[in-house]
Amino acid sequence: MLRFGYSLLPVATEPTRPVQLAVLAERLGLDYIAIQEHANNANRHDIWTLLTAVGTATSRIALVANDFSSGTPAVLAKAAASLDLLTNGRVEMALGARAFSEAIAATEGEGGSAEEAAAALEEAIHVMRLMWNGERPANFESNFFPLTDEHRGLAPARRIGIWLGVTEPRALTVAGRLADGWMPDHYPLLQPGDLALLNAKIDDAAHAAGREASDVRRIWNIMGMIGDEESSTPFHGSVKQWAQRLAELALDVGIDTFLLMENEDAEAQLEKFALEVVPLTRELVELAPGVTITSGLSRAFQGAAASGATRAEEETDDVDWVDETSMESFPASDPPASSSFT
């Protein structure tokens, strides 16, 4: 199933505005609110405090703690579990490639290599899941995050998904083997043409580990502006152009979750995205031949049905689907259908 969300800026100059935007996103029917850590920016909220405020003000939308750059896995695991319990199971964790650079520097020297960053990320995933199981980590061997019997985890309300924001080959392998989701650099830092190649590396790693490609949700943050006029600039055009691009990314690349990043005219853009882009994207995907909408987005173009114009092309007259490949990419961890804050 395609899912859609909104990525908030935790700006503190208007303290309650991020909460108001999150409430609007939930009211408009979006699935996720993502908030990125800005620990070194004086004009940004603390992410856990803001996530708690958003969780209190909402009842259904899933909360994504995005791209942490500080803290230890054990501390982050407890914070996430606490918030998950307080919000009836609505938390997802997103970790960046260099999320634990301080731990790497402490053990391997300043900065560390890409290989060390991937190793630390893999170890962090094991630590967080161990803490969430509520087990005593007596025999846990660690290079970066040593634990003792005194460390006891807090079990969340349900299994918290771990999403990795990585693009380096070693880290992509970790994502395919262990992660619940992959959330690479946002557009325009990463271009649509880069996604298929990176996606394939995750698929390969998942299959090598005995997993299905569909065990790893594929999430993409997009920075752009939805306007009234057509445009040749990606993600700076009309509702129709946005929907066509998102549908192509879903069908041809396997992206199953799209997060609109906060930009100018936030409320109006959020409403346009949720009320116009999202339903049209779903319609275009459902019109594509051979698509079955189940627990995730699945496509399989077959035989003659895959050649020539699709139903979407015939009806819109300008949708150009790629028909040479098949891919399955969707979630291991979905937000609950409904919940309430207690």
The residue-averaged pLDDT of 218-239 equals: 95
Question: 299 lies in a domain?
Answer: no
| CA separation, residue 89 to residues 63, 161, 183, 204 (Å) | 9, 11, 21, 31
The residue-averaged pLDDT of 252-279 equals: 96
- For position 300, what pLDDT does the model report? 31
Position 82 confidence tier, pLDDT thresholds 50, 70, 90: very high
Q: Helices (DSSP H) in 28-70: which residue ranges?
A: 47-57
Please check the confidence at residue 87 and state whether its pLDDT lies above 70.
yes
Please check the confidence at residue 299 and state whether its pLDDT lies above 80.
no
CA 42 and chain centroid, separation: 26
CA 272 and chain centroid, separation: 21
Question: 327 lies in a domain?
Answer: no
Q: Which of 33-37, 150-154, 160-164, 192-196 has the weakest average pLDDT?
A: 150-154
Position 101 confidence tier, pLDDT thresholds 50, 70, 90: low
Handedness of CA 105, 154, 97, 168 (dihedral sign): positive
What mean pLDDT, rounded, does the chain reach? 81
Global confidence as pTM:
0.81
- The percentage of the chain sitting over the pLDDT mark of 90, rounded to a whole number, equals 58
Higher pLDDT, 74 or 332: 74
Position 304 confidence tier, pLDDT thresholds 50, 70, 90: very low
Q: Cβ(90)–Cβ(338) under 8 Å?
A: no
Domain that holds residue 163: 3-287
Question: 316 lies in a domain?
Answer: no
Question: 325 lies in a domain?
Answer: no
The total number of structural domains that make up the chain: 1
CATH number for position 80 = 3.20.20.30
Over the stretch 111-159, which tens digit does the pLDDT of each residue have?
557 788 888 899 999 989 988 987 666 556 777 887 766 667 899 999 9
Question: 319 lies in a domain?
Answer: no
Residue 6 β-bridge partners? 33, 260
Please check the confidence at residue 245 and state whether its pLDDT lies above 90.
yes
Over the stretch 171-182, which tens digit does the pLDDT of each residue have?
999 999 999 999
- For position 144, what pLDDT does the model report? 81
Question: 300 lies in a domain?
Answer: no
Alpha-carbon span 281 to 325, nearest angstrom: 20
Strongest mean pLDDT among 34-43, 74-83, 298-307: 74-83
Please check the confidence at residue 198 and state whether its pLDDT lies above 80.
yes
Nearest to 171 by CA among 161, 160, 182: 182
Question: 314 lies in a domain?
Answer: no
Q: In what order do the strands lie in the sheet with 297-299?
A: 291-293, 297-299, 327-328
Higher pLDDT, 5 or 312: 5
Q: Which of 20-34, 110-124, 150-164, 203-217 has the weakest average pLDDT?
A: 110-124
Length of the chain: 342
Position 13 confidence tier, pLDDT thresholds 50, 70, 90: very high
- For position 298, what pLDDT does the model report? 39
- For position 338, what pLDDT does the model report? 37
Question: 105 lies in a domain?
Answer: yes
